[in-house]
Amino acid sequence: MRPVRLTISAFGPYAGTQRLDFTDLKGRSFFLIHGPTGSGKTTILDAVCFALYGDTSGSARDTKSIRSDHADLRTATEVEFDFSVGRTVYRIRRSPEQERPKKRGDGITVKPAEAELWELRNESGPRLAAAGWSDVTKKIEAVLGFKSSQFRQVVLLPQGDFRKLLTANSSERQEIMQVLFKTELYRHIEESLKVKAAGLKKTFEELERERLWIQGEAGIASALELEEQLKGNAAALAAVKEQLDSLAQQLKQAQQAVADGMLVQAKLAERDNAAKDLEQYTAKAVLVEEKRAELAKAQKALALADTEDMLNQLVQEIAALEAAAVQNNRQLELAQNKLAAAERQLAMEAGREAERETAAREVLQLNQLSAKVTALEEAHQAVAAARTAAGRAAGAKAELETGVSEIRAAVQQKNENYKSLLEHSAQAAGYKASVDELSRTAVKRQGLAQMQEQFAAAAKQLADGELALKQMDKAYLAARERLAALQRSWSRGQAALMAAQLTPGQACPVCGALEHPQPATNAVPVPDEQAIKAQQTIVEGLERERENLRALFGRQQSECSALSSRMKDLEQELGTEARGPADGLQAKLQTVQAAYAQAAAAGRQAEATARELVRLTENEHSLATGLEQADQAWRQADDALKRAEAILQERLAAIPEQFQQPAVLRQAQAEAEERQRRLKQSLEAAQQQAQEAARQLTKAQTGCEHASSNLNDRRHREREVQLAFVSRLQEAGFQDREDYRSAKKPPDYLSRLAERIKFFDDGLIAAKERLQRAQAAAAGLSQPDLAALEQAAAALQLNHTALVGEQIRLAALTAQQEQWLAKLNSLNSRIETAVKRFGVLGRLAEVANGGNEYKLTFQRFVLGALLDDVAIAANERLKMMSRGRYQLQRTMDRARKNAAGGLDLEVFDHYTGSARGVGTLSGGETFLASLSLALGLADVVQSYAGGIHLDTILVDEGFGTLDPEALDFAIRALLDLQQGGRLVGIISHVPELKERIDARLEVCATRHGSTACFRVG
């Protein structure tokens, strides 16, 4: 990276816009940044760092306090930086979040942070490479190859900060170098080897546990013993199968004989049952015939139900018509009375014609006054509006007079506050540095506390997992023992069943012996085959759960180990703070943060107060102008009020006093119109009532005539139906109506009775046919001896069941032994492979992760080699600057036995012939060693990282600690950098440097802000 042009605005002590063109150096590669203390020399480096990364070159300055206190409120804080990387030129522009005056109106608005990166191309013009604060920073890191912290270690060396590389411990130096040299690959190799070795070890342990568990479950000491047991059980299983085949044939024949006997017995029983069934049907025949006669008579009565229903309906209609005739006569009389009353009311309303004419004339006169009253109301409103306007104008005038007085007092108060706030805000920078340092320590301490809590929780989970695994092992062994007990009980039960069928002098179905001196017995219940299978399922389920718990326990062990390792690393970084109380550190941080917040708030309040003073001054001028305008407006409003009052008096004289109020006039109009409306409605209502009464009378007369005619028709029809019903009763065979009523039955009863008679008839036919079939099937058959046949079959079944049980036991045992043998052979092969692999990979992982005399990891070993190259490059300059006395070298010694080593530096003193720590160097010697190390690091980084261009180095202070001869050597070393084409800039107050370096960036401080310019020659 090589600077081309830097433009800063309202930044630090630079109140206005300051442009620095590095082409003004006229080809010179070594320049001095010179000026009085506090003038803004370091601010130029801050501006470069802010433009590239959005932060400053020093930890004691933050981006929130970079705005110039001298700058005008209308000048925005911004940095624009043109630089080249190789042949490509870039332009970056950044502005922080800041308060700006509103473009329209008064007040302040917050402008968000902005950043842009452009690639300047001669042939095609600028191209936007990135936009947005974080995106631009990421793009810069990709272009330069550095993060901000590495940039301040290699290119821009801030005041005092570049000594950190020399005095850092091994861990801190590793953090810096692993980023600069991109050695993450070697750390990944360490982790990969560690994970693979741990995986192999875990696999071996799991395989060994599984092998021992299988041997314990099988009750053997080796796979060879299991093979011998398997051969013996297979031979016994084959013999049992042969006996079982012969016995199965005998059992089949006995079972067939039992089935044939049961069939004969069933046929004989069917013949007897069919005869009994027919006898029952014959006994019920008489009762069924009686019900059949009842059904016939009820069906005849059902045929007459329609005529009876018609007769009943006519009787009901005649009663209803008689009641309606009485009601119609009453309505006719009422209609005649209403008509007479309506005619009298109509005659009375016709006589009020004179009242209706008087009401119409009154409504017309009041309507003519309505327009005049409306104009009078408008005049009243105009007077009120003019009076209100005059009052507002007078109030505005008084308010402006008060505002002018108040704003002048506020300006005086704001000036006093502004001076006080400036004094308080000057302390913010010191507080910020303390906050940053304490914050980093507090974050690490908090992380350690959280990690300790995680470790405690993980350890508890590990203990719980171990307890759960032990409980599962216990449950599994108990379930296995229960399964074995069930299998033994089942075998003893089968033997006892077979022994119970033995007869003295007859051969045993198992061994063939004729004598049975000690037959088997069983005093406990015999389990069935389902219980054994259910217990087998339980054992298999517990076995799977146990394996899952073992896998979980292994993962918990790995997690605890990883947490413990990370805790130790963090405790080493914190040192004594790791053991101190976190509350005390937090309280100290909060105290400093509060002080910083107050100082920063004072700075912001000072800026706000300055803006408020400007605003108040502008408001004072605006209020004075407004006061003049308000006085003129008040005079105009008073004239308008007088004119409106004159018009009002003129219109009052044209209207009678009782009707001048619009509400009174409207009420009078409403009352007159209401009287007119009531008179008209009364006449219309009387006419309508007379018409309606006449219509109702006609309707009542018609209703009476129609009802009388209907009543006569229904009486005649009732007599005809009565004669027809009596005739049909006699034809159906009923003596009278009482005989007819007793024969009537409900239709659902008749339906059920018919169904029951039909069911009886069908059952009688079926019983006769069943008896015939049963007699034919049982012809020539005799009763068999079924008990003897079943006893013979049961004896054979007991023998068969005993052999089947033995076969199941032997088959299950051989299958289980085959599975155990296959698993053992597979496990032995896998264990042998794992042991061979772990022998190589385990040792390699141990060495790569620091398992050696120097606690040196693979990545640290590579970084050590790179640090050797850095020391060689640094010693080329340090030997010259120290006149051959000092030489930097890497040491393998460690401050603590448990600390990581390999990246510590010491200085070899050729005057004494011994090596000592870099912390023993004096201030000037430390500066020379740090400068040499920084330059050496820059050389080696550029040589290893081909994509990184280190064309510039900027050094801030430190030369004042050197004697003249050491200063001369240091300057020579920096001048040598020009031979490689590098641009070298240094900041110093040493007067001799101003005389020796003819290219200078002069910084001048004034009461209104600083300025800077290049001077050559």
Beta strands in 872-946 (DSSP E): 886-891, 904-909, 914-917
Least confidently predicted of 7-11, 500-504, 793-797 = 500-504
Beta strands in 404-506 (DSSP E): none
Using CA atoms, how far residue 124 sits from 83, 87, 91, 119, 121, in Å, is 18, 15, 15, 10, 6
Q: What is the pLDDT of residues 39-49, one digit of tens each?
A: 888 889 889 99
pLDDT at 662 over 90: no
Residues 137-161: what's their mean pLDDT? Answer: 80
pLDDT at 894 over 70: no
Percent of the chain with pLDDT over 90: 6
Helix H, strand E, coil C: the string for 791-840 is HHHHHHHHHHHHHHHHHHHHHHHHHHHHHHHHHHHHHHHHHHHHHHHHHH
Instruction: Give the gyration radius of the chain's Cα atoms.
Output: 60
Kind of pairing, strands 914-917 and 904-909?
A: antiparallel
pLDDT at 429: 65
Percent of the chain with pLDDT over 70: 90
Residues 976-992: what's their mean pLDDT? Answer: 76
Among the ranges 142-151, 567-576, 957-966, which has the highest mean pLDDT value?
142-151
CATH number for region 2-145+949-1016:
3.40.50.300
**Cα(376)–Cα(655) distance, integer angstroms:** 9
pLDDT at 149 over 60: yes
Residues 652-681: what's their mean pLDDT? Answer: 77
Kind of pairing, strands 904-909 and 98-101?
A: unpaired
pLDDT at 512: 58
**Cα(612)–Cα(610) distance, integer angstroms:** 5
Q: What is the pLDDT of residues 669-699, one digit of tens each?
A: 787 778 778 878 887 887 788 888 888 878 8
Place 280 in a pLDDT band, splitting at 50, 70 and 90: confident
**Cα(678)–Cα(675) distance, integer angstroms:** 5
The DSSP call for residue 361 is H
Following DSSP, what letter does each residue of 302-336 receive, concatenated? HHTHHHHHHHHHHHHHHHHHHHHHHHHHHHHHHHH
pLDDT at 379: 78
pLDDT at 569 over 80: no
**Cα(649)–Cα(661) distance, integer angstroms:** 14
Query: Which one has a higher pLDDT value, 502 or 790?
Result: 790
Q: What is the number of residues in the chain? A: 1017
Place 872 in a pLDDT band, splitting at 50, 70 and 90: very high
User: Is-contact 510 465, C-beta < 8 A?
Assistant: no
Residue 858 in tokens: 């693979």
Average pLDDT in the chain:
80
Residue 850 in tokens: 């620091």
Which run of H or of E encompasses 179? Answer: helix 170-180
**Cα(380)–Cα(649) distance, integer angstroms:** 10
Q: What is the pLDDT of residues 745-780, one digit of tens each?
A: 888 887 888 888 888 888 888 888 888 888 888 888
pLDDT at 816: 86
pLDDT at 823: 86
User: Is-contact 884 911, C-beta < 8 A?
Assistant: no
Residues 342-349: what's their mean pLDDT? Answer: 78
pLDDT at 139 over 90: yes
pLDDT at 660 over 90: no
Is 887 strand, coil or helix? strand
Following DSSP, what letter does each residue of 257-308 receive, concatenated? HHHHHHHHHHHHHHHHHHHHHHHHHHHTHHHHHHHHHHHHHHHHHHHTHHHH
> What are the extents of the domains in the chain?
2-145+949-1016, 191-297+745-834
Residues 1000-1006: what's their mean pLDDT? Answer: 89
pLDDT at 297: 79
pLDDT at 863 over 80: yes
Amino acid (one-letter) located at 838: F
Using CA atoms, how far residue 463 sits from 456, 557, 562, in Å, is 11, 10, 16
User: Is-contact 948 980, C-beta < 8 A?
Assistant: no
pLDDT at 715: 78
Q: Please state the separation of Cα 410 from the chain's center in Å.
A: 52
User: Is-contact 928 876, C-beta < 8 A?
Assistant: no
pLDDT at 83: 92
Residues 173-187: what's their mean pLDDT? Answer: 78
Residues 14-38: what's their mean pLDDT? Answer: 88
pLDDT at 571: 74
pLDDT at 375 over 80: no
Sorted by sequence, the CB contacts under 8 Å of residue 460 that are 6+ apart come out as none
User: Is-contact 987 956, C-beta < 8 A?
Assistant: yes
Amino acid (one-letter) located at 186: Y
Place 102 in a pLDDT band, splitting at 50, 70 and 90: confident
**Cα(890)–Cα(298) distance, integer angstroms:** 130
Burial category of 396 from C-beta neighbours within 10 Å (exposed 0-12, middle 13-18, buried 19 and up): middle
Place 720 in a pLDDT band, splitting at 50, 70 and 90: confident
**Cα(773)–Cα(275) distance, integer angstroms:** 11
